[in-house]
């Protein structure tokens, strides 16, 4: 085995090592039945919101209230939410009736992002002793609330869940590396110190002790920074995978929305990753990029480095393809794209370069609003 082949083998093994600790949300029983407020920030979510509200109406654990905070939407989000609330109010005598109401915060002030402002006011309007924050595009299974509140009862502090990424259209498959790298680059599990915004649970006391969303008011990727303020307050921060319990379909609005969304995350959160994890991920990615280039280069007669024979390049390509197939099965519904991984590699690199440009510009536009990336 040559030195290059040994180096690529180490990089491939590093991929397995990075994915060893990706625990799913534990399925625990509730120790008690606390008063829970579910808070849903929603800006231009008229198509996704009805699915979430219907799923919340089917939860095995009934929350005290569900508050949809309309973040000054320019579509029918508020109307859709209000219509669902009216229907649930009419069914108030039924067991499945959802205690739902819709509010809108004051106009967005300077120094706040839309989501942090919306959730800040959602908390002010809520009455529960436990706060559950759910993004409008999440798709919880009927036991999610019970399980995530039970895990919080055991661990305390801030508990979050990264949903399973459900894909429908071919362009959505291109996001495979963003999903995977976002999980590889951080530790997961109890007291991992990282948080994912789609599903967050905290007690009201801990929320107020940390400073809550007011402490991260200007952060576009508020979940990463919320984890920091909880840890600064001496509170544990835990994160789990939502495979089998909660899913979401990211960026159903099209390829452009997906590019801008991941660009936003890259430009604002990349600097928050701990350097040992980042170094390990970069080493694995370098092996993946090498494999993505060498086999196509051999077949198409492009310039290439390393072994010019077909078999070693075929083995290298197959090893990374099989690795991607296996480790992404709990991350999202990614299938065929793992077999042609040079395509998502090119997409990943393109969005990465765009993120660097946005870092230089200092701003990015998301949902008709401009945000700072520095």
Whether residue 193 is predicted with pLDDT greater than 90 in this model: the reply is yes
- Report the distance separating Cα 280 and Cα 284, nearest Å: 6
Mean pLDDT of 96-124: 93
The percentage of the chain sitting over the pLDDT mark of 70, rounded to a whole number, equals: 91
Q: Which of 12-16, 129-133, 214-218, 294-298 has the lowest mean pLDDT?
A: 294-298
Predicted confidence (pLDDT) at residue 269 exceeds the cutoff of 80: no
Name the band, by pLDDT with cuts 50, 70 and 90, for residue 179: very high
pLDDT greater than 50 at residue 73: yes
Confidence band of 76 (pLDDT split at 50, 70, 90) = very high
**Given a cut of 50, is residue 288 above it in pLDDT?**
yes
- What pLDDT score was predicted for residue 363? 64
The phi, psi pair for 319, rounded to 5°, reads -65, -45
**Ramachandran bin of 149, using left for φ above 0, alpha for ψ from -120 to 50, beta for the remaining angles:** alpha
What is the per-residue pLDDT across 217-237, written as a single tens digit (0 to 9) for each? 998 889 999 999 999 999 999
CA distances from 199 to 153, 177, 239, 256, 344 (A): 16, 21, 10, 25, 27
C-alpha–C-alpha distance, residues 324 and 345, integer Å: 12
What are the distances in angstroms from CA 114 to CA 43, 73, 169, 300?
8, 10, 28, 48
Q: Reduce the secondary structure of 242-277 to three states and give it as a string.
A: CCCCEEECCCCCCHHHHHHHHHHHHHHHHHHCCHHH
Least confident of 207-211, 239-243, 294-298, 331-335: 294-298
Beta strand extents in the chain (DSSP E only): 36-42, 65-70, 100-103, 130-134, 138-140, 158-162, 164-165, 199-203, 237-241, 246-248, 363-366, 369-372
The mean-pLDDT minimum among 90-94, 253-257, 363-367, 369-373 falls in 90-94
Side by side, the strands of the sheet bearing 246-248 are: 138-140, 246-248, 164-165
**In this model, does residue 185 exceed pLDDT 90?**
no
Q: Is 20 helix (H, G, I), strand (E, B) or coil?
A: coil
Q: What is the C-alpha separation between 126 and 145, in angstroms, rounded?
A: 17
The phi and psi torsions of 106 (rounded to 5 degrees) equal -60, 170
Least confident of 69-78, 98-107, 187-196, 360-369: 360-369
Residue 284 tokens read as 């694995």
**Which run of H or E residues covers position 368?**
none
What pLDDT sits at residue 95? 46
CATH of 36-253, one of 2.30.30.40, 3.40.50.300, 3.40.50.970, 3.90.550.10: 3.90.550.10
Q: Kindly state the tokens that stand for 203.
A: 């007690």
Give CA separation, 206 vs 159, 189, 191, 230, in Å: 11, 19, 15, 8
The residue-averaged pLDDT of 57-64 equals: 96
pLDDT band at 289 (very low <50, low <70, confident <90, very high): very high
Domain ranges of the chain: 3-19+272-372, 36-253
Residue 160, strand partner residues: 200, 239
How confident is the prediction for the chain on average, in pLDDT?
A: 90
Query: For 116-174, what is each residue's pLDDT tens digit?
Result: 999 999 999 999 999 999 999 999 999 999 999 999 999 999 999 999 999 999 999 99
Q: For residues 51-66, give the mean pLDDT.
A: 96
pLDDT tens string 310-329: 999 999 999 999 999 999 99
The pLDDT-based confidence of 257 (bands split at 50, 70, 90) is: confident
Among 51-55, 154-158, 189-193, 348-352, whose mean pLDDT is lowest? 348-352
pLDDT band at 367 (very low <50, low <70, confident <90, very high): low
Average pLDDT of the residues in 250-255: 86
Measure the CA–CA gap between 80 and 154, rounded to whole angstroms: 36
Residue carrying structure tokens 């200092």: 362
Q: How deeply is 250 buried, as exposed, middle or buried, from its count of CB atoms within 10 A (0-12, 13-18, 19+)?
A: buried
* Residue 295: C-alpha distances to residues 1, 11, 138, 174 (Å): 19, 17, 38, 20
Percent of the chain with pLDDT over 90: 72
Query: Looking at 77-81, 87-91, 179-183, 191-195, which range is the least confident one?
Result: 87-91
Backbone φ and ψ of 202, nearest 5°: -155, 160
Model confidence at 273, in pLDDT bands (50, 70, 90)? low
pLDDT at 12: 97
pLDDT of residue 161: 98
């Amino acid at each position: 085995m040559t030195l290059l082949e040994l180096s690529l083998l180490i990089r491939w093994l590093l991929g397995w090592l990075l994915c060893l600790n990706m625990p799913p949300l534990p399925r625990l029983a509730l120790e008690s039945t606390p008063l829970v407020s579910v808070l849903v920030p929603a800006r231009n979510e008229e198509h996704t919101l009805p699915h979430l509200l219907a799923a919340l109406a089917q939860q095995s654990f009934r929350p005290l209230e569900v508050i949809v905070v309309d973040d000054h939407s320019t579509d029918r989000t508020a109307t859709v939410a209000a219509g669902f609330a009216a229907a649930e109010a009419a069914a108030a005598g039924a067991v499945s009736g959802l205690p739902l109401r819709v509010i809108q915060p004051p106009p967005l002030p300077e120094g706040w992002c839309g989501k942090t402002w919306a959730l800040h006011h959602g908390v002010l309007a809520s009455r529960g002793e436990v706060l559950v924050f759910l993004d409008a595009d999440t798709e919880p299974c009927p036991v999610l609330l019970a399980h995530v509140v039970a895990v919080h009862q055991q661990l305390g502090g801030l508990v979050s869940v990264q949903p399973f990424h459900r894909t429908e259209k071919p362009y959505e498959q291109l996001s495979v590396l963003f999903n995977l790298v976002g999980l590889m680059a951080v530790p997961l599990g109890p007291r991992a110190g990282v948080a994912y915004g789609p599903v967050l649970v905290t007690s009201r006391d801990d929320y107020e002790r940390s400073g809550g969303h007011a402490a991260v008011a200007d952060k576009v990727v508020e979940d990463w920074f919320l984890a920091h303020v909880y840890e600064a307050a001496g509170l544990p921060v835990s994160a789990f995978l939502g495979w089998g319990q909660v899913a979401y379909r990211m960026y159903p609005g099209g390829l452009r929305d997906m590019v801008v969304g991941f660009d936003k995350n890259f430009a604002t959160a990349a600097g928050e990753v701990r350097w040992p994890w980042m170094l390990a991920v970069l080493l694995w990615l370098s092996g993946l990029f090498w494999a993505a280039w060498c086999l196509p280069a051999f077949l198409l007669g492009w310039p290439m480095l390393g072994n010019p024979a077909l078999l070693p390049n075929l083995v290298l390509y197959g090893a990374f393809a099989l690795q991607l197939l296996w480790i992404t099965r709990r991350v999202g519904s990614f299938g065929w794209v793992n077999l042609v991984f040079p395509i998502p590699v090119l997409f990943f690199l393109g969005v990465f370069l765009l993120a660097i440009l946005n870092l230089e510009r200092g701003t990015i536009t998301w949902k008709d609003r401009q945000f700072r990336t520095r």
